[in-house]
Amino acid sequence: MRTYDNPVIGGFHPDPSVCRVGEDYYLACSSFEYFPGVPLFHSRDLVHWRQIGNALDRPGQLDLPDDTPASAGIYAPTLRHHDGRFYLITTDVRGKGNFLVTADRPEGPWSDPVLVDMPGIDPDLAWDEDGTCWCAVAGVRVAAIDPTTGKVLEGPFPVWSGTGLQHPEAPHLYRVGDWWYLMLAEGGTAHGHSVSMARARSPRGPYEPAPTNPILSHRSTDLPIQSTGHADLVTTPDGTWWMVLLGTRPRGWFPGFHVLGRETFLTPVEWVDGWPRVGPVREQHPAPKAWHPFQLPPVRDDFDAPTLAFSWISPRSRPDGSWSLTERPGWLTLDAQAGPAFLGRRQQHPDCRAAVRIDPGSGYAGLSVRMDEAHHYDIEVAGGAVSVVARIGPVLQQVAERPVPPGPLTLAVTISTADTGTRGPDSLTFSVEGPEGAVELTELDGRYLSTQVAGGFTGRVIGMYVTEGTAAFDWFDYERQ
């Protein structure tokens, strides 16, 4: 029997929303303060996912000011397909509020935003038989809207606020037979996270709760996957049901530290007596009948392509003058003239290694493992020396330094969950390789780059940066260990 490993999309990919078109599945995730926003994935079997773009990839769609706090920005998209068109609705929590974008193809281009005249977060879209478009938001309130203008046509009105736990959010409406089902998350997105369900004959209600609520929760268990919730449902062509949801994988001594952020998991769903039944989310499950693994692109980037790969992200914005693939062909050039420049990718595996070949020029540049501005570890080249710098809240400290010759160097970080002796979740070992070979500089405790220390809703991002001058990068390599 084939099995699949959870998570199906590792690393900081929270709040998954999924839809099926024929035999193809498409999935969107939250992106918070990073640009481009809302990564989009494609699969043929719900297990193997390939990123095909980002829904918000133009400044006209996503304008995050420089003072946007970490973990603000874009929250909880819902992705749907209706009448031959893709719809994505989401929230800019510090800017335009709820808005939707549309596209003929999931790869885009996606339209400019249409503002939705309805406050709240975690918006959902569903259509009834007469074509009315319903929008639900956390709380839970429901309204009929015009998706072409964003105007509210009826409501909003409260329908069901869950079983009484805090933060009823992430609502999704589904028509199944003669019933409308309303699924939501409760208990907050930490250890108390859960999924609850209610149903009604109309989107307007009244709703009756499932007799077995919550239909999913890992709270107060010792299961390796925690914080399960913020789910979405999808059916396969053969009529089976599946749930995508977020979860975390905490490690280390009490209270446990998760460093990759909230990740996307997959679990089967059965219907019993008119209600969905979901078992615990396991690290391995029997796979769906379809099995279509993609030939995934390599994680090494030699910067030979004419455009950046979809997986590269930057905090808040990526001004045109801050990067170039043509200034030095075959290299990525970062320029700090308009301010620090950063280009990174999500850490997706607990054990991994990232390395970069850098020609530092005359500036300050290097490789960073980042949670936010106040929590990051950097290996940096400047002034004829390579150093490792740790930023933990208000504390900024250089923890290692070594002279290096001019010219290209290889900077690397190896992240390991093996016994660190500190009871933290992992250790990060930084090294430099020059003409005389590789030299290990220092090892740091990973707990200080975790959600439990930094706070917020994101996970680690590993990438290249420059804070002064310019620097060129020949390649970036990421590998699972």
Domains of the chain, start order: 3-286 (2.115.10.20), 314-480 (2.60.120.200)
Q: Is 403 left (phi over 0), alpha (psi -120 to 50) or beta?
A: beta
Q: Which of 471, 473, 472, 466 is nearest to 339 (CA)?
A: 466
In the chain, which residues have pLDDT < 70? 420
- What pLDDT was estimated at residue 420? 66
Based on the residue annotation, tell me whether 15 is a catalytic residue of this protein: yes
Q: What is the pLDDT of residues 364-411, one digit of tens each?
A: 999 999 999 999 999 999 999 999 999 999 999 999 999 998 889 999
Q: Which residues contact 125 (CB under 8 A, 6 or more apart)?
A: 78, 80, 82, 87, 89, 100, 133, 134, 135, 147
- What pLDDT was estimated at residue 444? 96
- What pLDDT was estimated at residue 180? 98
| Alpha-helical runs (H) found in 335-464 | 451-454
* Cis peptide bond upstream of 237, omega within 30: no
Single out the catalytic residue among 122, 169, 359, 445: 169
Based on the residue annotation, tell me whether 468 is a catalytic residue of this protein: no
Q: Residue 140, Cα to own-chain centre: how many angstroms? A: 24
Single out the catalytic residue among 15, 232, 359, 380: 15
- What pLDDT was estimated at residue 35? 98
- What pLDDT was estimated at residue 222? 94
- What pLDDT was estimated at residue 297? 74
Q: What is the pLDDT of residues 295-344, one digit of tens each?
A: 777 789 999 999 999 999 999 999 989 999 999 999 999 999 989 999 99
